[in-house]
Structure 1
């Protein structure tokens, strides 16, 4: 039997329809059809970020010590944590609860990961934008110094989280031990994520070690875009891009290998 061949635009159209269907299914499964529904997609991370921002502003005198807004510092920090922590965490064991969907010929294993990545990234991004706008309009924090730098840092962080999510999510299908280990690893990654302390505040030997991780490079660029010359950033975009490329290749390779072994249930 001759295999049907679709033109590129037709294949992209089918792919987008599949991702949209999986995306909406994830929203309904997680948040339901009633009450806040879709709004909870960004309301949940927004509430987490707002709570942490208020606590840090009350108990940490960051602004006086470093001449920057404590509210803005906490907001730009915790928002980045939500990106990598939630995105990677949701990719763990993503196949098993959705394996029945693989009966549909247009649904592939990688689509299950992409839908979850898209959901988490959308929620974190919307919550960050909404909170920034609210505090800026209220006059609690200044406007960003350079929005393009913020977008570049955020984009790099999303890339890192997506690539790592594919890798960790794929490895979880080999062994559930990976999923169990990821949660404590995520907690250990928090101190070196750049969200709590800026690189310029660290002693040089410790800073050199911390900047080997991709996340703090992304966060430093993101914060530099917001605060501008009020902070001294440390980041290496080419290095971070290379690490993300390697993680992406490994993640896609693992997912491809898993795809050949997964059977619809």
Structure 2
């Protein structure tokens, strides 16, 4: 087979895969949000309400976060980042069972179901973050980001981490119900450790290096560095975060392949 024919085959496969994921994405939107009330707008309105609520609570309680940043800016960058990666596993755990009937179609695989849900979740969190940022900038509660590309880079790394973790847990949950039972308390326990409510620079020097062993902390620090620039001193280990994402991705793909072979369509 020539290189040109191989590329043509690859393009056709990619086009088919894209149509499958798009169809699953539309199905997921209609199933989850329906056509009534504001429908799919809940995709980003819901995380906006969560983030705004946390921002108001932190402002009223005059929370101390260990930096000179306004509490609104601190809450937006922190809690939006948490919503990005933490909600993804919840959507992937138990995602296969309601879609078993679709597995009769040879082009529909387990990874397509996961990817559709991940795109939907990441899209909602991203729209929420961008919309609230623009709104807060407009009313004067927030300054424009110092480096938009750094913000985007940190955000994409957090999405990569959340997506790979979600696919891994989603695949493992098909083998054991224990995964779902453990993830719910674990997701709440990891919130105070994720870097959303503190900055590494505010921690004692002896603790800082241990905080950076938590992958999400590095991502949040990158987002905040892009947002606030020289106003803060961000600590992060980019190679470590990328390494964790690669390792999680490889493990996730391996487990998804195993699950895909074991699926019995209803």
- In the alignment, what sits opposite 2:34? 32
- In the alignment, what sits opposite 1:68? 69
Task: After TM superposition, give the deviation of residue 62 of structure 1 in Å.
Answer: 4.4
1:41 to 40, 43, 68: 43
**2:75 partner SS:** helix
Deviation sequence 1:88-109 (CA, Å, 0-9, x none): 1111111011111101121111
Task: After TM superposition, give the deviation of residue 23 of structure 1 in Å.
Answer: 0.6
- In the alignment, what sits opposite 1:198? 199
**1:254 partner SS:** helix
In 1, Cα distance between equivalents of 2:33 and 2:13: 30
Unaligned runs of 5+ in 1: none
Deviation sequence 1:183-239 (CA, Å, 0-9, x none): 111111112111111111111232222210110000000011111111111101111
Deviation sequence 1:154-190 (CA, Å, 0-9, x none): 0110000011011111110110111100111111111
2:17 corresponds to 1:8: no
**2:191 partner SS:** helix
Give the conservation status (yes or no) of the 8 Å contact 2:194–2:217: yes
Give the conservation status (yes or no) of the 8 Å contact 1:221–1:235: yes
**2:141 partner SS:** coil
In 2, Cα distance between equivalents of 1:61 and 1:168: 33
State TM-score, norm by structure 2. 0.95
1:201-240 matches, within 5 Å, as 201-240=202-241
- In the alignment, what sits opposite 1:105? 106
RMSD: 1.4
Q: Please identify, of 206-215 and 72-81, the stretch whose mean Cα deviation from structure 2 is larger.
A: 206-215
Q: Name segments (4+ residues, structure 1) moved above 3 Å.
A: none
In 1, Cα distance between equivalents of 2:261 and 2:79: 38
In 1, Cα distance between equivalents of 2:90 and 2:58: 25
In 1, Cα distance between equivalents of 2:186 and 2:24: 28
Give the conservation status (yes or no) of the 8 Å contact 1:87–1:165: yes
State TM-score, norm by structure 1. 0.95
1:150-229 matches, within 5 Å, as 150-229=151-230
**Cα distance change, pair 143–62 in 1 and its aligned pair in 2 (3 A):** farther
- In the alignment, what sits opposite 1:135? 136
Task: After TM superposition, give the deviation of residue 250 of structure 1 in Å.
Answer: 0.1
1:59 to 61, 77, 102: 61
In 2, Cα distance between equivalents of 1:127 and 1:212: 28
Unaligned runs of 5+ in 2: 1-5
